[in-house]
Amino acid sequence: MDSVRFNNLDKTDSFRKLLSLGEAVDIPSTLTPERIRSCAIPIGGGLSYNYAAKGLSEKVITLLSDLAEEQELAKKYRLLYEGEIMNTGEKRMVLHHLTRGQLGAEVQFEGKNLRTFYLLQQQRIDSFAKQVHNGMIKGSTGKKFDTVVQIGIGGSDLGPRALYLALQGYVETLSGGQHMKALFISNVDPDDPNMVLSTIDFETTLFILVSKSGTTQETLTNMKFVIEKMGAASIPGLDPKKHMIAVTSQTSPLTGSDDYMEAFFIDDFIGGRYSSTSAVGGTVLSLAFGEDVFADLLAGAAEADRLSLSEHPGNNAGMMDALIGVYERNILGLPLTAVLPYSQGLHRFPAHLQQLDMESNGKSVNRFGEPVSYSTGPVVFGEPGTNGQHSFYQLLHQGTDVIPLQFVGFRESQTGFDLPIDGSTSQEKLNANLAAQISAFAMGKEDENRNKYFPGNRPSSIIYGSRLTPAALGALLSHFENKVMFQGFLWNINSFDQEGVQLGKILTKKVLDGDVADPVLQGYIRLLSG
Amino acid sequence: MDSVRFNNLDKTDSFRKLLSLGEAVDIPSTLTPERIRSCAIPIGGGLSYNYAAKGLSEKVITLLSDLAEEQELAKKYRLLYEGEIMNTGEKRMVLHHLTRGQLGAEVQFEGKNLRTFYLLQQQRIDSFAKQVHNGMIKGSTGKKFDTVVQIGIGGSDLGPRALYLALQGYVETLSGGQHMKALFISNVDPDDPNMVLSTIDFETTLFILVSKSGTTQETLTNMKFVIEKMGAASIPGLDPKKHMIAVTSQTSPLTGSDDYMEAFFIDDFIGGRYSSTSAVGGTVLSLAFGEDVFADLLAGAAEADRLSLSEHPGNNAGMMDALIGVYERNILGLPLTAVLPYSQGLHRFPAHLQQLDMESNGKSVNRFGEPVSYSTGPVVFGEPGTNGQHSFYQLLHQGTDVIPLQFVGFRESQTGFDLPIDGSTSQEKLNANLAAQISAFAMGKEDENRNKYFPGNRPSSIIYGSRLTPAALGALLSHFENKVMFQGFLWNINSFDQEGVQLGKILTKKVLDGDVADPVLQGYIRLLSG
């Protein structure tokens, strides 16, 4: 690692130059058809990233390119996927890329080739899923499984759930459709398991307990909750052990337990929010959709990982997206990013990105544990268009703050069936809306009535492709993972730990142990217990 | 109206005094059990608002109280509910409060008492719902309706959908449970209707078309889409007209159409995002849950409206919440608010608040159409706890920006069934987490390892009650509506129009009409059509 420097952002020459530029770029003056064509970078999975409506001068783009070089983004990516300890806080490797491909030198741990290990897990999952689908593995009362319920929280919930919802429409169009319906239980609020369990048949339901450590309070509670309710259902012959599998690490207390008929493994090198392409996402998605769909998703992610290898942001969409984000955050001082997918299937994808981005880069110390003196990760939020247009876009267009926008769009719908109504199909209407919004945000509109005036100059980028296929979705996932990683390198922070969740856990334990000498805890507990 | 002044925020003495105070308040030093008790204000519906963890000095609270008086918040609220033209842009009254109660003088329009009109609509809905429930009104093939699908977007979708999801757990515990299952179609993306329609039986489904103007592109398209698919289903005797009702205004093109077997009315004085307590929410909720549940919701909202009448923020939760929000936005310079409900039923409530707040107050001109020189509405986002704790809370605890937090919690769960697991029930665990988070955000934690250091001093408020009942939900809805209204008065903006959505509509129409001389539109249309 001695050949790579880990400098804070504000110690780099190119950042200082960017700061001193003070060059405000007027988007309308630059947004020509030529520029729209020239600002496209392939992502993988048939997707492209286009930043034409970002309003960046050539000078800024050059300095951002210099910054990428100065912060050695490509080299640090290589260190990461080749097994350097890039999660410095927890002293761990960061290997989620290996779950979908071998980008460089092999990575060994305790004599084990980790690519082989992750592949093996996916093969075991494929084989298990096949046996569930063909009825070789049945529920304890002899019925075929038709429903899978994932019990997990955070990265064991948001990513897999977003991907499941994003592919339902696609799989709907395949012959046979879904193999199994998938549901998710995450919250420790008893209303969550109660409501999910009120809709399922225990005899035909397979539960997946997902917890890397095997100690997640919410998840273990919900697992026990489910088992108790299964028992209370008094169904002759029903055996919870035959309805429960686990995704966990080999060192977790769940491994080897008789309570699970099967276990698939991840390890400490797959962070929760980066685990969708590991067994954490693979198990539920393979059971619901079959192994081919999940294999296509992995292939799309692997392609995007490879395209992110380029040293030049002009050929590296994840890197360019990261650089522009840092420019907006640290030079323009904008604290937010809105993610606006024009595809109903992606309706929970922003919730996954919220975790991915905010948990990775919502940090105030650099990778050496020293406070940084600049802003880091932004807040990420979003809802699908056109819904958002009828909701919060008012503020995006005419509010007092400028919010950078990240659009996503596709030429074709996922489900295919469409109708011409009043001269255009629904998909044509959807994309007419999308093009109109990008133009409205960028160009604005003069009006003497200031209430009808649109300032424009509101920057956006768009990720687009022909259809939201499994490969496109995998590439989309990888694009954002790599963007967040590159931003962590730019800010010189560790994007792979989450110390900010610890204090709440400690205090929760105190409360549950009855140790509430603390007057603040006492005050709020009293308030919440009436 | 001559007795009331409409001044910009920065023209008031109290705001100038607040600005010059420069008094940073350290939350940990003020957060005593006495303060926690003393900072509670009743909301209605059994709920209270508590701002103890907001870190406000007595001096600041006094000045905020002065500001409320100087901006004449209580008087302006009265003008509004008594029918003054408070939507100055569109020259309309603002009467959503009348859908749930009579707060002051009667409001007449064209010889019609509007409270009577709104009540009549709800009575008509009740009667219709009863006939659907008892089978007097059946589908065209003679089957009983068991599913209702609302077709609407924005305020015709987000509010009703959030309320439906928020009460499912409650209704689950009533004898008989839900009368009908409700689903929602909103997006013009064909994947949205395709996926919803793939799960329903046309013969037993009743559709509600919701569009005040009767001209909403997305909604009309989806209605026609549904009718075509019904036709394509080739079910003998199936007649779309017998499966479709409308919620619209009496002046809309839908009124009197033979395509709907019944129509319930709203009018121009009910804004979309304020329409959940009108026929827009009332129809779907009464069909799904029965009229008593919806009547309780209205009663809770009406109680909160009455408690918001007080001139003194110390007795007026909506007003205090509004004032603190403006303090955070305009004195502390914080551009965001996170809404964090510790109740799974509220999982889509933040999406409703996003529209309510951002579409109402995301404005840059005052009510006279003059640009304001201060920040207005913040960005609102959120997900339920404990899920959020495993997602974006990292940034909230340790990110470089401070984000004000709005917690919501309940003593009891909604569904009731719970289990003691490892010494505590799930509900106890949920609330232990909630108390722990408030404490962690406020108090922080010293640590020599800066990676494990929590700065604390991150302000939060909490709304809490015994259970998420219909009345509590109604009060919660009204609390935020009134908060947003008071903030609009403080900023001197019109919270009731949405000119920022117009430009996108105009450009979309251009694209669909083939009028794409504009090179930017052309560029993006080309990109999206391959």
Q: Which of B:128-147 have CB within 8 Å of A?
A: none
Interval A7-52: pLDDT, tens: 999 999 999 999 999 767 899 888 988 999 999 999 999 999 999 9
Q: Do B527 and A464 touch (CB under 8 A)?
A: yes
B251 Cβ contact partners less than 8 Å away, ≥ 6 residues apart: none
Strands B262-266, B244-249: pairing kind: parallel
Of A204-208, A252-256, B303-307, B328-332, least confident by mean pLDDT is A252-256
Q: Do A520 and B31 touch (CB under 8 A)?
A: yes
The chain B residue lying nearest A515, using CA atoms, is B432
Segment B205-212 shows an average pLDDT of 98
Tell me how crowded residue B463 is: count the other CB atoms within 10 A of its CB: 24
pTM of the predicted protein model: 0.98
Q: Is the model's pLDDT at A494 over the cut of 90? A: yes
DSSP for A460-510, please give it: EEEEEES---HHHHHHHHHHHHHHHHHHHHHHT--TT--GGGHHHHHHHHH
DSSP category for residue B66: H
The chain A residue lying nearest B519, using CA atoms, is A33
Orientation angle between helical segments A73-81 and A317-326, nearest 10 degrees: 120
ipTM above 0.90, yes or no: yes
Which pLDDT score is estimated for B2? 54
Interval B350-377: pLDDT, tens: 999 999 999 999 999 999 999 999 999 9
Q: Do domains B9-100+302-500 and B108-296 have the same CATH topology?
A: yes
Q: What residues of B are in contact with residue A168 (Cβ under 8 Å)?
A: 195
Segment B311-339 shows an average pLDDT of 97
Q: What is the largest CA-CA distance in chain B?
A: 76
Which pLDDT score is estimated for A22? 77
Class of domain A108-296: alpha beta
Known catalytic membership, residue B505: yes
Q: Which of B:424-453 have CB within 8 Å of A?
A: 424-440, 442-445, 449-453
Mutation for A interface: B189, B229, B445, B503, most A CBs within 10 A:
B189
Whether cis (ω within 30° of 0) applies to the bond prior to B62 is no
Question: Among candidates B137, B141, B163, B136, which has minimal Cα distance to B150?
Answer: B163
Q: Quick one: pLDDT band at residue B515, thresholds 50, 70, 90?
A: confident
CA distances from A505 to A415, B137, B347 (A): 43, 53, 22
Using DSSP's 3-state secondary structure scheme, residue B177 falls into coil
Q: Is the model's pLDDT at A2 over the cut of 70? A: no
Question: Considering CB atoms only, which of B377, B521, B526 is closest to A399?
Answer: B377
Percent of chain B with pLDDT over 70: 99
Interval B7-47: pLDDT, tens: 999 999 999 999 999 767 899 888 988 999 999 999 999 99
Interval B234-251: pLDDT, tens: 999 999 999 999 999 999
Q: A111 to chain B, minimum CA–CA distance in Å?
A: 31
Q: Do A511 and B436 touch (CB under 8 A)?
A: yes
Q: State whether residue A1 sits within 8 Å of chain B by CB.
A: no
User: CA–CA separation, B435 vs A516, rounded Å?
Assistant: 11
Q: What residues of A are in contact with residue B380 (Cβ under 8 Å)?
A: 392
Which pLDDT score is estimated for B119? 98
Segment B271-283 shows an average pLDDT of 98
Domain ranges in chain A?
Answer: 108-296, 500-530
| Average pLDDT for chain B | 96
User: B9-100+302-500, what's its fold?
Assistant: Rossmann fold (3.40.50)
| Average pLDDT for chain A | 96
For the CA atoms of B159, B161, B162, B163, what is the dihedral angle to 10 degrees? 80
Q: What residues of B are in contact with residue A89 (Cβ under 8 Å)?
A: 451
Q: Which of A:397-426 have CB within 8 Å of B?
A: 397-401, 403, 409, 411, 413-415, 417-419, 421-426
Residue with tokens 């989620």: A96
Segment B77-84 shows an average pLDDT of 98
Mutation for B interface: A189, A192, A356, A408, most B CBs within 10 A:
A189
Question: Considering CB atoms only, which of B33, B436, B455 is closest to A523?
Answer: B33
